[in-house]
Structure 1
Amino acid sequence: MEAACKEAEKSRWETLEPSVATELPESTNCLSFSEDGRYLSLGHSQGLSVWCASSLTCVADWLEDRLEITSIQMNRMAEMAYLLGTIDDMGVARVFAYHCDSIHLLNVVNIMEDINKRSICMTFELSQGGHYGAASISCNGAVWLEVYHFPLEAWLKELEMAVSQTQEPNSSEDMDVKWSPLAVATKIKPPKTPEGTALEGPDEVQMTDFLTNYLAVDIVTKSCRLDKHSVNTDEEKTKETNKSPRCCTQHFLLPCGQFPGDSKAKSQPAEFPVAVCVWWSGSHNLFQYFLQKAPKSKPDVEPMPDLLWPNAKEILCSAVSRCTRYIALGLENALVCVWDRQSGSPLSVVLISATDSALCRMQFVDYRPVSTDDSQTFTTAEVHLLVACKSGALHTITTGRGTQSCTMLLTERLLEPKDSGDLPTITESVPFLQGLFLQVQRNGKMFLQDVINKQTVCCLILPKTHPIATPCNPVYALNSKQQTLLIRGDQDPSYRASSKEDSQSQLFIFHFGESDILKQYIVSAPYSPQQQKTLSFVTLEETCNLYLQQRALCADERNKAITQTWTQLQETATMAQQGHHRAAAS
């Protein structure tokens, strides 16, 4: 009866069908819109293409045999000039430029000159505005992060030179243009404790400074874990911990105005990153490095982190707000810590659920109207997070300084193997639909869900002839400017005219802005909430005043938490004492 009721409820859901479909190049693996929503970039076998987003027609392509692009990102670097960052199936990262209906290869990031020292690019990210790029590189078991500074001004001049060459009657190519090379801003390796630091146990570690203290915490924690599974000596455990391959996650950070180095960016555009934050798998610590070129006198010196954000548990996932003021970290034991870069202190630490599995993804969500009263900036400061667990459970978190943290379960965890098809593969907030997020399940179902009311607003239905391609890893892109969703669908073999007919992929488009179902959720443009306005605090006194003001506003909440903790401790002590008396009596 319960299952029948659920099916009846699902049948009442509104449906939304795509309005446009166009054929895709063979093996299209990735899509990405430019920041202004004017162009769509596609990575596929034999290269990449740039399409006009409004007409969905190809305006330029760059093709090469036996090359397959698996990751692509497109950012605008100037008026009618765009940067593209790609990774191919061999782990080679490249930087392209789209300008005047042409695509130019500017640089190959990790050129493999020696086959025995083949480096593989695992991730490649362009910063907003295209000023920097970050690539995580793996080579012979070692992993590091390289941050590059792009010579945008030089590239723009060289692009104009290339255009002038193609306009000459005797020349149609830009082979003579010498593109300016990338400059390595910093090269970051996994942190390790300095030689001579004792690692026999938490009480035996000899700390020489603040950084060594927190690095030692990571090493000691790993050593304790190794003790449970092996009988290695202390020296072997330390060597294994320091040399084991580690993955990194990085986020570019915009100016926030409260730390040294941020003040240097006052004369730079607001979208110019000033720092990058990095955490490594298995670590408790988030590191922040200011973006500056390595000194020519000491190019090989490993940079030390300028800031360190310590956490009580191991970091599993992370997210950064649109203005990069807030950094959210998903920790072990279902803990979520939100750091406030402006005050340099935790905004909140929230326990989601002790019964759920490990956290795997998180994202900041903006879904509530904000007050235009600037005086309410501190008292109404709230952030909203969408957190996904490996079990399939979804939670929302509403928290802030001076407010009571609130968690809400959106989707139940999956308990039986038969429900594995309902496991979400994509859970993403839609910035132009207020309070809605897009979810794609492993079984190919797509729907939009209301974060506040926990209701499914509508299901997105593709034609039966073309189900979602690779639902475990869908190929899709959201255009915030045109308020659309593009997703790839592959032809169902049962609908082919003959078994020999090739399967043709289609690009389907959902116009959310034209749907009557979604009109009440549409916002004109992605907005930044009031609480995410970054103010400029360049002196220590101003920063301290902000911190003390925020501490005063959250005093009631902290007092309640202390009272609750003491009550729990008293109850636990009473239960333990009663158990001791029963054991003694028996």
Structure 2
Amino acid sequence: MAVYFRKGLEIPEPSDYSSSEDDDMTYFTDLYEHEHNLPESVRVINKILNSLVDRAWEDISKQDKIREEAEATKKVPVLSPCKEYTIPCRTNAIVCSDDGLYLFLGHAHGLSVISTSTLTCVTTWKDERVELTSISCASLENCTHLLCTVDDMGIARLFVHRTENIYFIKVLNETDDINQRHICTKFEVSKSGDFGAAVMTSSGSVWLDVYRFPQELWLKELEIKQATHTHAPTEVKLSPIVLLMKIKPPEIPAGTSLKSPFDVLQKTGDGTIIGSGQNHMISSFQWENQEVAFRKMFAKYLSTHPMTPSQQKPKGPSSCTFHFLLHEGLCPLPGGTKPTRDFPIVLCLWWSGSNNLLQYLLVKTTKEKTDVEPRPDILWPNSQEILCSAVSACTRFIVLGLVSQLVTVWDRRFEMYLFFTSSGGAVCPYANIVIPGDSALCRLKLILQSPEQLQVTPLHQGPFLPKLQFLVTCRSGACYSVTTRHGGHSQIAAFIERPADPGSFATVVEPMPFLKSLALLMQRNGQVSVWEMDDAAPVFIINLPQTHVLGPVWKPVHVLDPVQQNLYIRGDRKTSLEEVMDKEEGDSTLFLYSFAQCSVLDLYRIPWPATIETRATLSGLEEACNLYIQERFDSLEERNRNFAIHWKRLQKRVFE
């Protein structure tokens, strides 16, 4: 098409433009007045384009209007509480027993036991000087429950609840001199009730005390006491607990003066050079060279962003995160012992600021001596610093959230040892996933899967190499749903976007074990709702009465009961400042929400026995190998198809 230019109509230079609004309107008006001088073909094309643009804008506006009308007509169901119960002031912790029969409330002035069937108080333990802040519960036999509590002063206490009585056993960190008391920051019991661990701090140092609870002796002693006493005492003397280990943060190994590997082998004697990470024979000049190389590589960032003394990390760790693990893998127990029931045999932990996941055996042989400062049996190395962790219900999978938005999944069943030594070895990860965004990870939650779900999903590789799903929450408020499997592609979906309003920040994001693909969401503005993780949309809203608010909003006190399919939430009555100053104690209520009676959740409902992850026990190495070979044979067609796809992609990238 020929291009026509009209004399006198020229595009001015940038310097000729004026910032005034009148000059701009004059310029565009001049173009519009001279439009009739353009050729006929250009004017026809211009009219066609204008009509197409107008029609597109009309279609877009109609679609937006239809979408807005659909959203307006779509109403999210609201779930109201079916029962309520007035709870003591400052109830800081609520836990539910594994059998779903009792609720245990930790509050100011003591501990209360609530029956879930009648929502009434069964028994209490009172002390005017105590305010409990955390509770850990384990269900034992004959309707007996073991309770580990921590109060606001850092004192750890041990209780036993049996039927309608609660017994105080002992204080773990009790001392006559208050200035020498150890402060407990965390005290938790294993699910079976055989072991407990407490994080202690004192004078800037931190360590972990691991205990063994003689629960079988306790059950017999409680039966005798109840048979001989008409009125059960509130405090009883039972068999003492056993301190198994006192674990301190591992020190960085110092450099050795040995110059050659031959000298190192002669020094060690048994040839164990690489093992748990505590007996590496690394020379001093190697540490120095590593420091020089690091500073040379990142000199630009170190010079432009120097760390001030207030921004530098502390020298030692400040906290410890631990998990009790059941027997997994192909390695036998020490001494050939076999557990008669599911109780933990391993304690895994990581210290703040550390890259390593450490593993300690809880089951020792009689020949082994109890070490005052035991070394870890196995070291699981990671490329970055650990920020958060989670363990599956069967304790087979361990998920670690690392720095740089990296998530590492470990499979304990396939402990592929790189080095077999007397002090342990290292293993290979199950999967590595990079979470999008630039915010640090803060919480991990694994999603339970029933056997029925595993059979129908196309991504499932069998019980030997199953699919794994979990939720990742970032400090920015964003939350992602991750689906991964061994050797396969990981799917990452944004479940909750980064909120623009600080009030919409999610304080609790917790998957619901008895509802498929649903998660409980609590926000800082007090809103509570249940969302679908696949569609990232609310299913229904949990409504508190207008007279109450969620309390406290930064750390809501709540608990999910998977057996009864109930949700318990603490609500505080709305009061003015004058009423708060006049009252010595707050007015709180425990609200009960029943999901079993909600018809909206029929499509998502899972029978409770199916939500418990099954542990496939393997009798030996031969059975494990046969099962693995069978699953590899069943997935041969899928692996060949994926191999062809990846090979084509590789060829395309090479020739580009």
Global fold match (TM > 0.5): yes
Indicate conservation of the 8 Å contact 1:257/1:535, yes or no: no
| CA distance, structure 1, for counterparts of residue 402 and residue 138 of structure 2 | 31
Shift of 1:127: 0.6
| CA distance, structure 2, for counterparts of residue 178 and residue 213 of structure 1 | 41
Where 1:366 maps in the other structure, the secondary structure is coil
Which 10-residue stretch deviates more, 104-113 or 66-75?
104-113
Partner of 2:467: 382
The yes-or-no answer on 1:184 pairing with 2:267 is no
1:124 to 183, 187, 192: 187
Shift of 1:263: 8.5
Partner of 1:580: none
Shift of 1:214: 9.8
Partner of 2:38: none
| CA distance, structure 2, for counterparts of residue 358 and residue 566 of structure 1 | 36
Where 1:18 maps in the other structure, the secondary structure is coil
2:381 to 293, 296, 310: 310
| CA distance, structure 2, for counterparts of residue 335 and residue 562 of structure 1 | 27
Partner of 1:320: 391
1:212–1:273 Cα change, 3 Å: closer
The CA deviation string for residues 410-442 of structure 1, in whole angstroms up to 9 with x for no partner, is: 11113x4xx111111111111111110101011
Partner of 1:351: 434
Partner of 1:65: 128
In structure 2, the gaps of 5 or more residues are 1-60, 258-263, 266-271, 416-427
The CA deviation string for residues 32-67 of structure 1, in whole angstroms up to 9 with x for no partner, is: 100000011000111101111111111111101111
2:362 to 281, 291, 304: 291
1:117–1:9 Cα change, 3 Å: farther
Shift of 1:117: 2.5
Mapping for residues 358-397 of structure 1, pairs under 5 Å: 358-366=440-448, 369-371=453-455, 377=462, 381-397=466-482
- Letter of the aligned partner of 1:192 in structure 2? E
1:212 to 270, 277, 287: 277
Partner of 1:201: none
1:130–1:6 Cα change, 3 Å: farther
Aligned-pair identity (%): 38
The CA deviation string for residues 480-518 of structure 1, in whole angstroms up to 9 with x for no partner, is: 111000010000015999984664111101001101222
Partner of 1:159: 222
The yes-or-no answer on 1:524 pairing with 2:607 is yes
Shift of 1:256: 1.2
Indicate conservation of the 8 Å contact 2:245/2:370, yes or no: no
Mapping for residues 63-462 of structure 1, pairs under 5 Å: 63-167=126-230, 173=233, 177-197=236-256, 208-212=273-277, 228=302, 229=306, 244-261=316-333, 264=336, 266-270=338-342, 272-292=343-363, 299-344=370-415, 345-353=428-436, 355-366=437-448, 369-371=453-455, 377=462, 381-414=466-499, 416=500, 419-462=501-544
Partner of 1:469: 551
- Letter of the aligned partner of 1:525 in structure 2? W
Partner of 1:577: none
| CA distance, structure 2, for counterparts of residue 83 and residue 555 of structure 1 | 48
Indicate conservation of the 8 Å contact 2:166/2:234, yes or no: no
Where 1:343 maps in the other structure, the secondary structure is coil
Shift of 1:257: 4.1
The TM-score, its normalising length taken from structure 2, stands at 0.74
Indicate conservation of the 8 Å contact 2:447/2:469, yes or no: yes
Indicate conservation of the 8 Å contact 1:321/1:327, yes or no: yes
The CA deviation string for residues 524-561 of structure 1, in whole angstroms up to 9 with x for no partner, is: 2053588x64332644x666777788889696668978
The TM-score, its normalising length taken from structure 1, stands at 0.82
Indicate conservation of the 8 Å contact 1:73/1:85, yes or no: yes
The CA deviation string for residues 430-456 of structure 1, in whole angstroms up to 9 with x for no partner, is: 111111010101111111011122221
| CA distance, structure 2, for counterparts of residue 19 and residue 318 of structure 1 | 35
- Letter of the aligned partner of 2:277 in structure 1? T
Indicate conservation of the 8 Å contact 1:193/1:212, yes or no: no
The CA deviation string for residues 259-303 of structure 1, in whole angstroms up to 9 with x for no partner, is: 242795634202x11111111111111111110369899545321
Shift of 1:116: 3.3
Shift of 1:126: 1.0
| CA distance, structure 2, for counterparts of residue 529 and residue 49 of structure 1 | 28
Indicate conservation of the 8 Å contact 2:346/2:359, yes or no: yes
The alignment of Structure 1 onto Structure 2 pairs a total of residues equal to 545
1:565–1:492 Cα change, 3 Å: farther
Shift of 1:75: 1.7
| CA distance, structure 2, for counterparts of residue 457 and residue 263 of structure 1 | 52
- Letter of the aligned partner of 1:43 in structure 2? G
Shift of 1:137: 0.9
| CA distance, structure 1, for counterparts of residue 139 and residue 487 of structure 2 | 38
- Letter of the aligned partner of 1:211 in structure 2? S
Partner of 1:581: none
Which 10-residue stretch deviates more, 398-407 or 321-330?
398-407
Q: Give the superposed CA RMSD.
A: 3.9
| CA distance, structure 2, for counterparts of residue 53 and residue 559 of structure 1 | 57
| CA distance, structure 2, for counterparts of residue 470 and residue 10 of structure 1 | 33
